[in-house]
Amino acid sequence: MKYNNIEVERRSPHLGAFIGGVDLSKGLNDEEINEVRQALLEFSVIFFRDQSITSEQQLRLAAQFGEIDNPHPVFDNDERDARLTIIESKGRAHDSEHYWHTDVTYQEAPSMGSILAAKIIPESGGDTLFASLYAAYDTLSSPIKRMCEELTAQHSFERGWGTTFRMLDGGEDRLHELKKIFPLMTHPVLRTHPETGRTALYVNEYYTSRINDVSEAESDALLKLLHHHAQLPDFQIRHCWRVGDVAFWDNRCTQHYASNDYGATHRLMNRVTLVGDKPFFRKL
């Protein structure tokens, strides 16, 4: 696509682009909103450098691209507006969520995407890696693609967050309550993107607990294969954060991984998440 109102620099063959020529603190006009949305659909994750935005400006920016989601059930939330999630680390003993994942796939309608703003960054480390689930699907062999078309998988809140909660005082009781709110959820193993129509592989090692349609042994083996394939470096980019960076990713066709290599160094990110829709698969 040709872009007339924003600057776009591709970062890799499969996903990622730097977006320039806009000041997010001032908001975006209609033409810029349309082109940023198109860039997100084309590149799956986009990055804005040297942006100084307040929490309120970040919320306003997110609202230009969809409905803002409810507060995150685990992370801390801003006292002034709980829709802004605070992701902060200073070497937490219970910090166990460093796995490749697509956000909140344990929900019936996982988030459409998130906008993440870097506020405090370690001198080194703390990068985030993103992987294209379009590319992961496209490069599967034809027999595996055909098999996956028929499959669904369970996604579990407990699988992702159980270890974290069990390290906290009273965490077992809190986990029990959250499992009532977020029971086991079934999604197709392949997902059709509702806007692009492209097919993405839709399992992740953090929340996907098993494939429903096969034996446990077959499920374990197939998930191991699919997770390994989705995490190949061929489909990835690695973002080295700077204070003032803002990332916007499409949660319907990507996975990401927050590198836990910075020890007790302070890292602080503000995130706003957008409401998504129920995953579906439509065979072409």
Residues 123-173: pLDDT tens digits? 999 999 999 999 999 999 999 999 999 999 999 999 988 888 888 888 898
Confidence band for 22, pLDDT divided at 50, 70 and 90: very high
Confidence band for 15, pLDDT divided at 50, 70 and 90: very high
Give mean pLDDT, residues 51-67: 97
Q: What is the pLDDT of residues 228-248, one digit of tens each?
A: 999 999 999 999 999 999 999
Query: Which pLDDT belongs to residue 95?
Result: 57
Distance CA 129, CA 254 (A): 10
Q: What is the pLDDT of residues 177-227, one digit of tens each?
A: 989 999 999 999 999 999 999 999 999 999 999 999 999 999 999 999 999
Query: Which pLDDT belongs to residue 123?
Result: 94
Active site residue 271: yes
Question: For residue 257, which amino acid is it?
Answer: Y
Instruction: Give me the CATH code for the 7-274 domain, please.
Output: 3.60.130.10
Q: Which of 238, 237, 241, 239 is nearest to 267 (CA)?
A: 241
Question: For residue 175, which amino acid is it?
Answer: L
Active site residue 187: no
Q: Which residue among the candidates 187, 227, 229, 271 is catalytic per the annotation?
A: 271
Q: Which residue among the candidates 103, 187, 191, 245 is catalytic per the annotation?
A: 103
Active site residue 256: yes
User: Residue 28 CB: number of other CB atoms within 10 A?
Assistant: 20
State which H helix or E strand residue 155 sits in.
strand 152-155
Q: Which two tokens stand for residue 197?
A: 């129509």
pLDDT higher than 60, residue 115: yes
Q: Which residue among the candidates 14, 101, 210, 252 is catalytic per the annotation?
A: 101
Distance CA 206, CA 210 (A): 11
Q: What percent of the chain has pLDDT over 70?
A: 98
Query: Which pLDDT belongs to residue 227?
Result: 98
Q: Which residue among the candidates 83, 159, 187, 256 is catalytic per the annotation?
A: 256
Domain boundaries, the chain: 7-274
Active site residue 101: yes
